Amino acid sequence: MTDPAAVRLHFGPYRPPRLRPGQSADCRLRGAVVITGHSAAPLRWPWCCRPDGRGGAGPLVDAGLLRALRAEAGVAVAYWWGVTPRTVRRWRRQLGLPRGGAGAATA
């Protein structure tokens, strides 16, 4: 069971962008992407992949998710966006962000 205090979002709310499958978008990690659906995570977020199929699929890293990556604890981002804490660490490294968000100190 997940500890509610550990996964609390301190700096939200985070609103998913209104995108539908088949629409194009710009992902901060993958560049130009196509929306393929929405996650089954607690925070329903657009899922995307590159049109050429390279680079894998995952949640669209837009301004909202980027804000959460900067501010929130890694376990909270992992829980709400439906990814692993390892994925959150990899995203932060790829984006040149500090290791833990400000929410990590209060969680």
Residue 91 pLDDT greater than 50, yes or no = yes
What would the two tokens of residue 1 be?
Answer: 């069971």
Spatial separation of the C-alpha atoms in residues 106 and 102, rounded to whole Å: 7
Residue 105 pLDDT greater than 80, yes or no = no
* Domain ranges, ordered by start, for the chain: 24-99
What would the two tokens of residue 63 be?
Answer: 């301004």
Spatial separation of the C-alpha atoms in residues 9 and 76, rounded to whole Å: 6
Q: Are 20 and 80 contacting, i.e. CB atoms less than 8 angstroms apart?
A: no
Residue 1 pLDDT greater than 60, yes or no = no
| pLDDT range class, residue 9, cuts 50, 70, 90 | very high
Kindly report the pTM of this predicted structure. 0.86
Q: pLDDT digit string (tens) for 11-63? A: 989 999 999 999 999 999 999 999 999 999 999 999 999 999 887 899 999 99
Q: Are 37 and 68 contacting, i.e. CB atoms less than 8 angstroms apart?
A: no
Query: Which residues, in sequence order, are CB contacts of 84 under 8 Å at separation 6+?
Result: 78
